Amino acid sequence: MSSPLVISNLRKTFGGLVATNDVSFSVAQGESLALIGPNGAGKTTIFSQIMGELRQTAGTITLFGNEISKLSTPARIREGVSRTYQVPRPFGEMTVAENIRVGLMPDNIWHMITRSGNADRELELALSVGFSEDDLKRTPSELSMGDLRKLEMARTMATGPRVMLLDEVFAGLTVGEIAQIAALIQQMRKDGMTFLIVSHDLKALEPLVDRAIAIEQGTHIAEGPFAQVMADDAVRASYLGAA
Amino acid sequence: MNIRWYHFALWAAFMAVMFALPEFVSRGTLRTVIFANFLAIFAISWDVLSGRTGYISFGHPFLIGIGAYTTAILTKRFDVAIEASIPIAVIVTMIAGFIVFLPALRIKGSYFALVTLAFMELMYQLVQVIRPDLTGGTRGISGIQGITRGAVNGYYLSLTLLLVVAVTVWLVMRTRVGTALSAIGMNEESVRGSGLDTTKLKLFAFLFSALIAGLGGAFYAHYVGAIAPRALFDINFLFTIIVAALIGGAATTAGPIIGAFFLTFLLEYLRPYLPGAERYFIYGGVALLLYMYQPKGIIALLETMKDRIIRRSST
Ligand SMILES: Nc1ncnc2c1ncn2[C@@H]1O[C@H](COP(=O)(O)OP(=O)(O)OP(=O)(O)O)[C@@H](O)[C@H]1O
Ligand SMILES: [Mg+2]
């Protein structure tokens, strides 16, 4: 079986700034890979290119053997990849249930009109990220940062991904909420999900990943077991430099 | 949104009152209501696209005008039967809209509004210079064949049309496609990030909107019997449509209807005191005040009142 996600010589420039500098890596089936680097290293930019929200300057992205680098975002999601956003982007005037519903919708207008939604699946997803049944009727303005991240997870899961990209899922969460999301990720790993995870909370991240890759100023600087990458001189220097 | 008993009760009460109306009011008032019915159809049409997706159209008179002109030209100049000319007018409106608006749907924000406004202005100019033998040039077309005779029949026809349009829109918008269109208005990027092709959704909203605009425009032409570019492609007409949808309550079906009636009667009652265009200042002011007080429109005010009554009666 071909690798779930292969990034080859990915490059992205914004004017003179090289945000992604010929980065290559791949994620194996069922693997969970940490993508680490200081602020502005280019982690989110890589996610946006994988999803097609930003178009790469050069390089290719392959998902389960199919090149997706020229597809639209919805087409990539159909191929089985989905992401959460560092800054949660809920539909502000919709309930939690409706937010999840959008993620569950088929990309087919006729089916949207003629077939009814799956309320059971909405509830199931909401419960799986730690919402209660009563939360389904709440709107984003009533939610904490932790709840917004949970909603972001649920909407992303709703699209039915086989590869999930998580961008700063722990930022702004309480210790209890971090444990809850971590447990959810562990459960999904057991169920065979492939992950690429970005987090500044290295302590929370370590138990959730099989391997890590570090970037600095868009450039791949280290790769390997998490502890080894963290001990790497270049990585330590990059974090110290950023601090 | 769940359907509740009072939704049916409200629609039934509204229909009962509306169908009995000719028994109670003067012919003059009835003609005002007919105009309100048409304005409601136009406001619903605008809302299907702009109220839901947030892509503000300044070009709806363009769509309505194409529907009106097409059926007027076909019936008057080519002796086509109304039964055929109205469906053709609707299709022509959708095609014309598709051709000129499609590129615009890729543009975001205020540029979309500007592009649509430019099309309305362009249409205003073109109608006067291209084939004036067909369009009647600056004077427009008069003596357009009527479908009904008299205010009462005209009223029932416009009412039936409004009900068909409103119920259809209500049913469609209650499904997931309504949720998806509203989601575009809140955060289009997230809709794409949820796997939905927003261009396809916007195109659907646009064609649905154009269908209603063309239908309304065509029936309107046969009702008034005379159309002229100055009146159709008019900025006051455009703002009346938008303000009706906004102050009634955008992204709802009842809102634009309520707004259309409110505005029509407001303008009508101001007429004896302010016969000229100054009336539009007054309604602009009223609309602004209402909008500042409750941006979700009259329908949200009614909802609050309903909640209060229910709470009071339950304690
Ligand atoms: N649309 C854009 N236009 C111009 N520059 C951009 C754009 N998006 C990102 N950048 C720049 O690219 C670099 C990488 O940004 P990116 O957001 O990917 O970093 P990051 O690793 O996710 O940082 P953080 O940890 O703060 O989230 C930064 O210097 C940023 O300023
Ligand atoms: Mg980032």
Which residues of chain B have a CB within 8 Å of the CB of A77? 193-195
Which of A72, A98, A113 faces B172 most closely, judged by CB atoms? A113
Query: Which residues sit opposite A81 in a β-bridge?
Result: A163
pLDDT digits (tens, 9 = 90+) for A86-137: 999 899 999 999 999 999 999 899 999 999 888 999 999 999 888 999 999 9
The answer to whether residue A175 sits within a structural domain is yes
Out of A207-221, A228-242, B34-48, least confident range: A228-242
Cα gap A141→B160, rounded to integer Å: 40
Task: Give the span between the Cα atoms of A96 and A126, in whole angstroms.
Answer: 8
In a domain, A101, yes or no: no
**Residue B286 binned pLDDT confidence (cut-offs 50, 70, 90):** confident
How close is the nearest chain A Cα to the Cα of B54, in Å?
13
Whose CA is closest to A57, among A14, A8, A21, A11?
A11
Instruction: Please give the structure tokens belonging to residue B243.
Output: 């303000």
Structure tokens at A145: 């940062």
Q: Is residue A231 part of a domain?
A: yes
Distance CA B273, CA B269 (A): 8
Query: From the alpha carbon of A54, which atom of ligand 1 is closest?
Result: 1
DSSP, collapsed to helix, strand or coil, labels residue A53 as coil
**Higher-confidence position of A233 and A66:** A66
CB atoms within 10 A of CB B127: 24
Contact A137, B1 (CB under 8 A): no
CA separation, residue B298 to residues A31, B2, B249, B291, B294 (Å): 54, 21, 6, 9, 8
d(CA A48, CA A50): 5
Widest CA span in chain A: 59
Asked if residue A188 is part of any domain, the answer here is: yes
Residue B178 burial (CB count, 10 A): 22
Cβ atoms A149, A83 nearer than 8 A: no
Q: Which atom of ligand 1 is nearest to the CA of A168?
A: 27
In the DSSP assignment, the letter for residue B225 is S
Residue that wins the pLDDT comparison between B29 and B3: B29
In this model, does residue B201 exceed pLDDT 90? yes
Give the residue with greater pLDDT, B130 vs B100.
Answer: B130
Residue of B162, B191, B170, B182 lying closest to B257 (CA atoms): B162
Determine, yes or no, domain membership for A64.
Answer: yes
Could you tell me if residue A66 is inside a domain?
yes
Answer whether B194 sits within 8 Å of A155, measured CB to CB.
Answer: yes
Residue A17 domain-assigned?
yes
Mutate to test the interface with B, among A49, A83, A109, A136 (most CBs of B within 10 A): A109
Question: What does the alpha-carbon distance between residue A70 and residue A60 come to, in Å, rounded to a whole number?
Answer: 9
Q: How confident is the model at residue B133 (pLDDT cuts 50, 70, 90)?
A: confident
Q: What is the pLDDT of residues A41-65, one digit of tens each?
A: 999 999 999 999 999 999 999 999 9
What CATH number is attached to the domain comprising A194?
3.40.50.300
Read off the pTM: 0.90
Residues B93-111 have a mean pLDDT of 80
Residue A165 to residue A187: CA distance in whole angstroms: 16
- Confidence label for B2 from pLDDT (cuts 50, 70 and 90): low
Q: How confident is the model at residue A76 (pLDDT cuts 50, 70, 90)?
A: very high
Which structural domain range is residue A26 located in? 5-90+161-240
Q: How many domains does chain A have?
A: 1
Residue A242 has pLDDT above 60, yes or no: no
> How far apart are the C-alpha atoms of A241 and B135, rounded to whole Å?
72
Q: How many CA atoms lie within 13 A of A147 on its CB side?
A: 15
Looking up tokens 């932790």, which residue turns up?
A146
Q: Strand, coil or helix: what is A7?
A: strand
Q: Please indicate whether residue B281 or residue A99 has the higher confidence score (pLDDT).
A: A99
Measured between CA atoms, the residue of chain B closest to residue A158 is: B194
Which residue in the set B183, B186, B192 is minimally distant from A74, CB to CB? B192
Residue with tokens 């997230």: B190
Using a CB–CB cut-off of 8 Å, the residues of B that contact A are 172, 175-177, 179-180, 182-183, 186-187, 189-197, 200-201, 204
Whether pLDDT at A2 is above 90: no
Three-state DSSP at B192 gives helix
Tokens of A5: 């996600």
Residue at A118 is within a domain: no
Q: What is the CA(B131)–ligand 1 centre distance, in A?
A: 56
Report how far Cα A77 is from the mean position of its chain's Cα atoms.
12
